């Protein structure tokens, strides 16, 4: 299970006989109003929410150009079942220092409703490429946490010259050779296993499984409450399957830009921490092990992660 964090919107529990897509559409105006206020408060962002329309649903994102044309771009890509506020501490820290982009990935946060059947690593990457092109964002540093790092790698496979750098936080290589075949197979069966847990148990265990500090665990728990259990299980199921499909057909490839990997010292999520260390050793990548942090590394120890990003963009 990847790190999960959000801030619950003010809304009641959905009626059992109302389709999720219909419920989300009915709540959208008030939800957008609340979300915009919370985004500005949580991240220090002074920009409005933008919308990218697709045949499968709308994708929401935020762009800040306050640093100026000569400053670097940071593109923040949250992981599975997180939204843009996962990077709240980074957006606040880099306000005025770097231009920033962050989104709610398809089917996440405000980028709902979105057809779950359309979810794939390749499609999400290509939607991101289209948005960056629309916004005129060139040569950014892609900063991807967990599943966001997988999407970043697919972006670089599709467009090798797009990024000037890549920072992977608690992420995994999009190369089959690093993956145990049993793990790839297991990702395809996560949904039924998650159904076995009660929602209360998920809300209790998931924060402690993915975050180390009390603050990050609290953020994780609040994020989970944004979803119903059925929404959570469905989105996790299709995303894990997307990772399995994406990794399963990948052959070795070379990262096309300077890369730094960030791993929390207590990250035990699906063996991702150890996989990242092997990835760095095999390919000669810079590796930063962050103290007092688990899988949700940039929320557990934002100061350490911010310092690494600072150093990276000043190279």
Sorting pLDDT into bands at 50, 70 and 90, what band is 252?
A: confident
pLDDT digits (tens, 9 = 90+) for 56-67: 999 999 999 999
> What's the maximum distance between 2 C-alpha atoms anywhere in the chain?
55
Domains and CATH numbers, the chain: 32-173+253-313 (3.40.50.1820)
> For the whole model, what pTM was predicted?
0.87
Helices 199-210 and 214-224 sit at what angle, rounded to 10 degrees?
Answer: 140
**296 pairs with which residues across the strands?**
none
What was the pLDDT predicted at 273?
87
**DSSP letters of 126-137?**
HHHHHHHHHTT-
> Of 172-176, 255-259, 303-307, which range is least confident?
172-176
The least confident of 12-16, 127-131, 310-314 is 12-16
Contact 33, 26 (CB under 8 A): no
Residue 40 has pLDDT above 70, yes or no: no
Which whole number is the average pLDDT over 300-312?
98
pLDDT at 45 over 90: no
Cα 179 to Cα 165, 183, 280, 281: the distances in Å are 24, 7, 14, 15
Give yes or no for residue 18 having a pLDDT over 70.
no
> What does residue 73 show for φ and ψ, rounded to 5 degrees?
-105, 135
pLDDT of 275 strictly over 70? yes
Residues pairing with 64 in the sheet: 100
pLDDT tens digits for range 113-169: 999 999 999 999 999 999 999 999 999 999 999 999 999 999 999 999 999 999 999
Segment 285-305, tens digit of pLDDT: 999 999 999 999 999 999 999
């Amino acid at each position: 299970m990847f790190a999960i964090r959000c801030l619950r919107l003010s809304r009641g529990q959905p009626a059992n006989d109302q389709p999720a897509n219909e419920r989300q559409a009915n709540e959208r105006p008030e939800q957008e109003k609340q979300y915009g206020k919370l985004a500005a408060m949580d991240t220090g962002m002074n920009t409005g929410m933008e919308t990218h329309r697709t045949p499968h649903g709308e994708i929401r994102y935020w762009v800040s150009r306050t640093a100026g044309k000569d400053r670097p771009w940071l593109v923040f890509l949250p992981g599975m079942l997180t939204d843009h506020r996962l990077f709240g501490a980074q957006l606040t820290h880099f306000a005025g220092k770097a231009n920033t982009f962050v989104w709610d990935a398809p089917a996440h946060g405000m980028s709902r409703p979105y057809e779950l059947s359309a979810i794939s690593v390749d499609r999400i990457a290509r939607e991101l490429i289209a948005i960056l092109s629309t916004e005129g964002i060139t040569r950014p540093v892609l900063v991807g946490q967990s599943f966001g790092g997988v999407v970043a790698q697919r972006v670089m496979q599709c467009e090798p010259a797009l990024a000037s750098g890549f920072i992977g936080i608690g992420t995994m290589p999009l190369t089959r050779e690093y993956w145990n075949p049993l793990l790839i197979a297991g990702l395809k069966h996560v949904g039924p296993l998650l159904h076995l847990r009660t929602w209360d148990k998920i809300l209790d265990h998931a924060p402690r499984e993915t975050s180390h500090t009390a603050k990050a665990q609290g953020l994780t728990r609040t994020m989970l409450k944004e979803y119903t259990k059925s929404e959570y299980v469905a989105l996790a199921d299709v995303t894990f399957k997307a990772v399995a499909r994406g990794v399963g057909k990948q052959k070795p490839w070379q990262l096309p830009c300077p890369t730094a990997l960030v791993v929390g010292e207590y990250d035990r999520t699906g063996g991702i921490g150890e996989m990242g260390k092997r990835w760095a050793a095999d390919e000669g990548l810079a590796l930063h092990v962050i103290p007092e942090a688990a899988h949700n590394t940039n929320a557990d120890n934002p100061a350490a992660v911010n310092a690494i990003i600072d150093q990276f963009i000043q190279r």
